[in-house]
C-alpha cells in the first residue's frame, strides 16, 4: 500500500524539507503572487437625474497604458434605458473620439474586451429614463 503513494516535496529557504500541498484529487496547490487584473471603480452608486449625463475620468485612479485588454461592466438600481460611453485620451490632451460601450435597457452590462493603448479614459453615463437612477461602473484592466 505504501508504494501507491508518491512523496513530493521541496526545500524552504533554510534547506529544510517541506511537503508539497495537494488537494483531495492529488493536484498540486499553487498560489499566484500579484495580479494580471486591476479593478478600477469609476462610479460607485452615483445618482444620475433623468435626461442628465455625468462624467468621470480614470486619470486619478491609475495609468491604464500599462494594460492591454480593457472591459467595462456596470450595474444599476433597476432595468431602464441608459447609455455608457468612453473617451480615450492622453496626458498630453490628445483626444480620440467617443466609444459607445453600452446603449439599451437593462440593469447590468458587460462589454467585450477591447484594446486602446491610451493613458486616460473618461466615462460618461446618460440616464434616458424619467426618474433618477444609481450606477456602479467598473473598469477591468488586464496585463498580457
Cell (9 digits) for 66: 500599462
Q: Is 27 contained in some domain?
A: no
Q: Is 2 contained in some domain?
A: no
pLDDT < 70 stretches in the chain: 1-12, 20-22, 25-35, 61, 144
Q: Is 98 contained in some domain?
A: yes
pLDDT at 5: 52
> For residue 6, what are the CA distances in angstroms to 9, 22, 48?
10, 12, 61
pLDDT at 9: 64
Q: How many domains does the chain have?
A: 1
Q: Give residue 128's domain range.
A: 43-142
Cell (9 digits) for 102: 453600452
pLDDT digits (tens, 9 = 90+) for 109-124: 999 888 887 888 889 9
pLDDT at 1: 46
CATH of residue 126 = 2.60.120.680
Q: Is 110 contained in some domain?
A: yes
For residues 85 and 124, the answer to whether their CB atoms sit within 8 Å is: yes
Q: How far is Cα 4 from Cα 66, in angstroms, rounded to an integer?
A: 48
Q: Is 85 contained in some domain?
A: yes
Q: Is 56 contained in some domain?
A: yes
Q: Is 16 contained in some domain?
A: no
Q: Is 1 contained in some domain?
A: no
Amino acid at each position: 500500500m505504501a508504494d501507491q503513494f508518491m512523496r513530493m516535496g521541496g526545500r524552504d529557504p533554510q534547506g529544510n524539507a517541506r511537503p508539497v500541498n495537494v488537494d483531495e484529487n492529488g493536484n498540486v496547490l499553487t498560489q499566484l503572487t500579484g495580479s494580471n487584473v486591476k479593478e478600477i471603480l469609476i462610479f460607485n452608486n452615483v445618482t444620475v437625474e433623468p435626461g442628465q449625463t455625468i462624467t468621470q475620468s480614470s486619470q486619478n485612479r491609475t495609468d491604464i497604458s500599462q494594460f492591454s485588454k480593457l472591459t467595462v461592466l456596470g450595474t444599476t438600481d433597476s432595468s431602464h434605458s441608459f447609455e455608457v460611453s468612453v473617451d480615450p485620451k492622453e496626458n498630453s490632451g490628445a483626444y480620440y473620439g467617443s466609444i459607445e460601450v453600452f446603449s439599451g435597457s437593462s440593469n447590468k452590462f458587460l462589454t467585450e474586451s477591447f484594446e486602446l493603448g491610451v493613458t486616460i479614459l473618461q466615462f460618461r453615463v446618460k440616464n434616458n429614463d424619467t426618474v433618477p437612477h444609481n450606477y456602479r461602473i467598473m473598469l477591468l484592466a488586464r496585463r498580457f
